[in-house]
Amino acid sequence: MSTLTLYCSSKNDETRSDGLVSSGAWRIGKDRLEENLGATVLLYSGKSEPAYRGGMIVGYEKASGSYKTDRYNVIFEEDPSVVGDTRTTFARSKGAANPVIWI
């Protein structure tokens, strides 16, 4: 299992009424999400900023909207212990442009 890291400068994640968190729409392969259920997701707001939110991936749902390719909302159970994670800060500060990085 991998850790999914998302660079969310807009911070469009939200806590749902069931207490789970939805990440907002991302272009991520459905198969990749399926094989990483139970893995960790980390949300970062800036290239040199530590993770501001994250937790265990418990599901995903197809995002609504008119996108050229399928996009999914990553659904996760929040875990405050991952706040402050810096595993992808270095890659992002060195110019990694993709907002989705699996580590």
Question: DSSP of the chain, one letter per residue?
Answer: ---EEEE-TT---EE-TTS-EEEEEE---HHHHHHTTTSEEEEESSTTPPEEEEEEEEEEEEPPS--SS--EEEEEEE-GGGTT--TTHHHHHTT---SEEE-
Give me the domain span that covers residue 86: 4-102
35 pLDDT above the threshold of 90 = yes
Mean pLDDT for 63-79 is: 92
The pLDDT of residue 29 is 92
The structural domain count of the chain equals 1
The pLDDT of residue 97 is 56
Count of CB atoms situated within 10 Å of the CB of 17: 5
The pLDDT of residue 66 is 87
CA pair distance 52, 91, nearest whole angstrom: 17
Mean pLDDT for 2-19 is: 90
Greater confidence (59 vs 24) lies with: 59
